[in-house]
Amino acid sequence: MGEFVRVEVEDGVATIRLDRPKMNALNAQMQRELIDAAREVTQNETVAAVVLYGGERVFAAGADIKEMAPMSYAEMSAGHSRLLQDFTKALAGIPKPVIAAITGYALGGGLEVALTADFRVAGEGAKVGQPEIQLGIIPGAGGTQRLSRLIGPAKAKDLVYSGRHVKAGEALAMGLVDRVVPDAEVYTAAKEWAATFVGGPAIALRAAKQAIDAGLEVDLDTGLEIERTQFAALFATEDQATGMRSFMEEGPGKATFSGR
């Protein structure tokens, strides 16, 4: 458990909790602690799914600008820009379903954290955006890449070029978030969604995530080969044998999986 990031596990669902008052500004220490948290939930075999949560008031209002402002080009190029990429890559690489529970603001680095998740649940009062352009810079923790892959290049350019804040309803309409719920229900809704993966075929879920994410980076033929190899490999698992036997004997949706 870090000073600003902690991992809590309950009934197969891990919560990675961002907790750096007042606005969860993502300084270098917090970024390193998020790498550790991603490693912890990945290695914990009791964890079936993960929720990223910043608390009732705010998800994360962005990177720590006071920390970055005095950095030189050399310092940013050789060190901190790599950390920005590394911590979001670590979160995106968690081989389990991940849901971001967004309350308040998810801006700049905060939105980039949310973009590493598979799904995003936002409160009705939430606002998201990539306001880095207003500081004379661009997103550096994956925003230009993950955002454009999620909502398309034109909408991504709108948000990155303008730096504007997007309310939850518009974010839902453009596909930036997947569900909007009352603010007080964000964490509960995210945990309930995550709980649907508990007891599921963990190896198949991991294969599905890896196939989809890796396939987005390559041409169709290469993506199909990624899918084929992941598909075939699942025939070496207990879950495949269990699932198909249960389907033939009891019908669909009744298998009890071991995660092996």
State the catalytic residues: 112, 132
How many of the other CB atoms lie within 10 Å of CB of 83? 15
Nearest-Å Rg of the Cα atoms of the chain is: 19
List Cβ neighbours of 260 (8 Å cut-off, separation of 6 or more).
Answer: 203, 237, 238, 239
List, as one string, the DSSP characters of 237-256: SHHHHHHHHHHHHH-TT---
Rounded Cα gap, residues 130 and 146, in angstroms: 12
Contact at 8 Å (CB) between 112 and 146? yes
Starting at the edge strand found earlier in the chain, the sheet holding 105-107 runs 105-107, 127-129, 166-167
Of the candidates 28, 22, 13, 23, the one whose C-alpha atom is nearest the C-alpha of residue 2 is: 28
Rounded Cα gap, residues 244 and 242, in angstroms: 6
Distances (CA, A) of 155 to 96, 108, 172: 28, 16, 13
Contact at 8 Å (CB) between 142 and 116? yes
Contact at 8 Å (CB) between 149 and 100? no
